[in-house]
Structure 1
């Protein structure tokens, strides 16, 4: 073997060793573990967050997500913006307000980013026959739960009551209970009515409506009252209704107001990982439908289409890539 061949063999061996070393040094994607701040166990967000976390852990490499039970929206945003959660459920207007510094509990402006929209969330004012409550003004002098502390329900109840000149500290006896606790208290006669902002149907309210010997009543928010509330809280509510059959015993439409439930994260969440997560979520909607029936009809177009334009301005880059690829965004 001549010198030229020896040099070529040595160079080939050196190159092979170099490539092997480089391959050994290549880093795997860093493992990402985070919690999803959801809501109370009697609502929709907790089981939905758990299902999403399971899909992520099973299908997104080096990524693990778990659902965390909370008192919902504002609590979720506090956990998210302080780094104690990686994703959170809230409402579309919260995305805008967080970035504009308008959420008092958060203090300064926070770079919250939209991941996706889920569903319209009507505001329930729930009572039962025999309480004498037929309108929102009939809450005066009664025992009323305005939602768990720092929840979206409590926040929205405050907006509604203030707009109509009702003082929750003076005009009725106020309780601060989540959906499950409110249902139990109403059944036991410990309260006369409660507010709840949640998807239709909500499991705990199905339970209430199905209770033998009890006739559940949904108090309407309509007409001039709805207009007044929306004028006092621009960009928050839109008009909607509980369709007949939404819950057992609801045999005709009931007008109300609502908002849109969304999933959010911070601007620092890795864009490539978020893109993968959205592909997994929309590729496995049949599994989510086991805990939230609306998942069966969710599409990328519907997800984004029900979010306010102002909130879409804060769409996370990883989400923007996904929705553009699916044709839901231009």
Structure 2
């Protein structure tokens, strides 16, 4: 009897170990069996590009997965990475440069490395726009000296872009301009009322806030000259040359500037099969999007410029389509 008791105890112990191993596996690599009943997408301000696209993505995801999905307005890139870390959402829009900083614990994430987030894929160029009005008289970066300039919230992607572009032009946020920490909507209203002279806005073009401004006043986008763009890219290689096309915001000619990339990121512990369906929904459904940026969202460029690990579910989708990361 005693012998049978010990035998039964041993069997139960082994079974318990198997159960524990199964429960513990995949919690950080998307291979677990976490049940998902609701998904939230962190976007940006309602007058930017992330928010309207987030609403369209939510519908694509819900149609593909059957999971209720909702876009949430936010303070955009840097705040979104922190939001995922804090469990406020499962998916988020983020600039490629900010995702890189977070994953490596650099700049605004120094001492606060975020390594529990991975990539779904690249979306479209995020144009760095230095927006002003014709009546301001500002035509170059040098004209910003002593002016009131919106640079976004401290720690935001826009703030980092503003700081780096000003640096390349020999200017400092702290010493050479009167920096204002406004979001896109506040920047638009303040430019319109004359309370500020210019604003940095990093977003896909056309940007709703700038289009709204153009409805009441003549918009000027300050150019980033070719030599300065080269200097910027040499020091910060995640930038690329970009153009705000003629006709955008009523512009009479193309305006050269620079861009970073927009991407989608996801919590690592979201199940592989769910992230696979999310990725499939977005890249196969992009052609149906009514937003102008939909034409840039393509499977074949989905891994371009990704500086952080790709979620296994997204990787499965790109592998099936023969898409590899840039070397």
Residues 141-220 of structure 1 mapped to structure 2, 5 A cutoff:
141-211=146-216, 214-220=217-223
- Tell me the CA shift for residue 264 of structure 1: 0.5
**Counterpart selection for 1:231 from 227, 230, 234:** 234
Deviations 1:174-203 (A, max 9, x none): 111111111111111111110000101111
CA RMSD of aligned residues (A): 2.1
Deviations 1:201-233 (A, max 9, x none): 11121121232xx22111001133222322332
User: Could you say if the C-alpha distance between residues 94 and 174 of structure 1 is closer, same or farther in structure 2, counting changes exceeding 3 Å?
Assistant: closer
1:241 aligns with 2:240: no
User: Could you say if the C-alpha distance between residues 224 and 282 of structure 1 is closer, same or farther in structure 2, counting changes exceeding 3 Å?
Assistant: closer
Name the residue aligned to 1:25: none
Contact 1:72 1:150 in 2 (8 A): no
Contact 1:149 1:176 in 2 (8 A): yes
Deviations 1:72-117 (A, max 9, x none): 1101111012222211111223333332222433613523211011
Deviations 1:236-264 (A, max 9, x none): 2111111212222x121111111110001
Contact 1:144 1:173 in 2 (8 A): yes
Aligned residues: 292
Query: Which stretches of structure 1, 4 residues or more, deviate above 4 A after TM superposition?
Result: none
Name the residue aligned to 2:102: 98
Secondary structure at 2:136 match in 1 = coil
- Tell me the CA shift for residue 149 of structure 1: 4.0
- Tell me the CA shift for residue 59 of structure 1: 3.2
Take 2:298 and 2:221, find their aligned partners in 1: how far apart are those partners? Answer: 30
Take 1:188 and 1:104, find their aligned partners in 2: how far apart are those partners? Answer: 31
User: Could you say if the C-alpha distance between residues 223 and 283 of structure 1 is closer, same or farther in structure 2, counting changes exceeding 3 Å?
Assistant: closer
- Which stretches in structure 1 are left out of the alignment for 5+ residues? 1-27
Take 1:55 and 1:149, find their aligned partners in 2: how far apart are those partners? Answer: 33
User: Could you say if the C-alpha distance between residues 29 and 147 of structure 1 is closer, same or farther in structure 2, counting changes exceeding 3 Å?
Assistant: closer
Contact 1:237 1:259 in 2 (8 A): yes
- Which stretches in structure 2 are left out of the alignment for 5+ residues? 1-32
- Tell me the CA shift for residue 284 of structure 1: 2.9
User: Could you say if the C-alpha distance between residues 141 and 319 of structure 1 is closer, same or farther in structure 2, counting changes exceeding 3 Å?
Assistant: same
1:300 aligns with 2:290: no
Contact 2:204 2:293 in 1 (8 A): no
Name the residue aligned to 1:3: none
Name the residue aligned to 1:37: 42
TM-score, structure 1 as length reference: 0.82
Name the residue aligned to 1:48: 53
Secondary structure at 1:124 match in 2 = strand
Deviations 1:50-76 (A, max 9, x none): 221233234313x22211111111011
Take 1:285 and 1:223, find their aligned partners in 2: how far apart are those partners? Answer: 32
